[in-house]
Amino acid sequence: MKTHALLALVAGAVMLALLALVAGCGSAPASGGGYGADARPWPQAPARSTPAAAGEQAQPPTVPVTFTLRGKAAAEHELRLSLTQIELRYGSRWHTVAKAEDIAKNETLPLKLGAKESFALLARTAVPRRTYTYARLTFAKEKTVLARAEQPNVPLVVETVPLAIGEWAPSDARPNLITFTVDGTQVKFAEDVILPATALAAKTLSPTGGITGTITPATPTARVEVFWGASKVLLGSVTPSAQDGSFTVANLPAGLYRVEVSATGQRLSEPLRDPVAVEDKPVTVKTLELVNAAKE
């Protein structure tokens, strides 16, 4: 009997040791999940995250902004401005908005400003929603010139400086526009021909111009499209009212526009051949008559 009792005690001890060994040696997935021999889950490994680098901040959402230029030169002169970069400053850092290749998608560089006020669409892009304080234009020295009849292509030095725009932040609720103005009548003739910093300015605003009109007969399936100048850059598109054929293309920055109307099986009896000049308020165009496209 003693032998049997001893064997039972030994067997029990061995069993307890095996159970302890199994409980202590259970394996778990690399993620820390799974269950041990006691049916309780293994502790989960903390979720892995990649902290931002020192000083790095999450990028803010972007907001669409349109950049335009308007300006003129003195009589008998033509300014030819070749822009290479547009920047906005927030804090002590500069954010590049557009480069020459971006501007060239909308306008032919160099931009030509004559005695009659000219307009240029520099860029339509999205910028981070931050508070900006300055804007800056950079010009290509070798392509920025003053053209005169008696002495064409005189190298023009532009005194580029940061242009104050106040404490400005682009808005989601309304169109955002920054317009640069160039007063070429301030060109100074000395040892060099200089466009001083005082001739440059930047202004932030919401575009208030627009084009309104009426299509007859009222054709709600027609589409009115407004393009920047002679380019293919579409700045607005609407359908006329089914009741009276009226239409309004709003929120257009100052400039020259081309208006086109399309409708299946129809055409304008007399297309708008001259560009529509828009300033800071809506402009009304003449009544546009649609006729059968086959009609001569």
**Full set of structural domains in the chain with CATH:** 62-205 (2.60.40), 209-292 (2.60.40.10)
Per-residue pLDDT at 156: 93
Q: How far is CA 212 from CA 125, 179, 209, 243, 250, in A?
A: 26, 23, 10, 15, 8
Mean pLDDT of 176-193: 92
Counts of helices then strands in the chain (DSSP H, E): 2, 23
Residue closest to 195 by CA, chosen among 69, 72, 100, 96:
72
161 pLDDT higher than 50: yes
Question: Can you tell me whether residue 25 is helix, strand or coil?
Answer: helix
Per-residue pLDDT at 27: 43
Q: How far is CA 46 from CA 30, 31, 34, 49, 157, in A?
A: 12, 9, 14, 9, 61
**CA 189 to chain CA mean position, Å:** 37
Per-residue pLDDT at 16: 53
128 pLDDT higher than 90: yes
Confidence of residue 17 (pLDDT cuts 50, 70, 90): low
Strands 193-195 and 154-158, bridge-based pairing: parallel
At which residue do the structure tokens 């605003």 appear? 205
Per-residue pLDDT at 230: 86
- Mean pLDDT for the chain? 84
295 pLDDT higher than 70: no
Half-sphere exposure of 76 (CA within 13 A, CB side): 4
Interatomic CA distance for residues 157 and 191, integer angstroms: 11
Confidence of residue 61 (pLDDT cuts 50, 70, 90): very high
Per-residue pLDDT at 280: 84
Per-residue pLDDT at 152: 78
The edge-to-edge listing of strands for the beta sheet with 83-90 is 93-99, 83-90, 132-139, 163-168
Greatest C-alpha distance within the chain: 131
The residue type found at 245 is G
194: Cβ–Cβ under 8 A, 6 or more apart, which residues?
156, 157, 158, 159, 187, 188
Per-residue pLDDT at 202: 97
Per-residue pLDDT at 54: 53
160 pLDDT higher than 70: yes
- Give the phi and the psi of residue 173 in degrees, each rounded to 5: -85, -15
Length of the chain in terms of residues written: 296
Beta-bridge partner residues of 180: 69, 202
Interatomic CA distance for residues 156 and 162, integer angstroms: 19
Mean pLDDT of 179-205: 93
At which residue do the structure tokens 């822009």 appear? 83
Q: Considering only 9-23, 73-87, 154-168, which range has the smallest mean pLDDT?
A: 9-23
Interatomic CA distance for residues 51 and 286, integer angstroms: 61
Give ∠ CA 262-266-272 in degrees, rounded to 5. Answer: 55
Assess contact for 224 and 252: CB atoms under 8 A. no
Per-residue pLDDT at 190: 78
Q: Considering only 48-52, 58-62, 141-145, which range has the smallest mean pLDDT?
A: 48-52
Confidence of residue 144 (pLDDT cuts 50, 70, 90): very high
Q: Using a pLDDT cut of 90, give the percent of the chain over it.
A: 65
Confidence of residue 39 (pLDDT cuts 50, 70, 90): very low
Per-residue pLDDT at 149: 74
Peptide bond before 207: cis, by omega within 30 degrees of 0? no
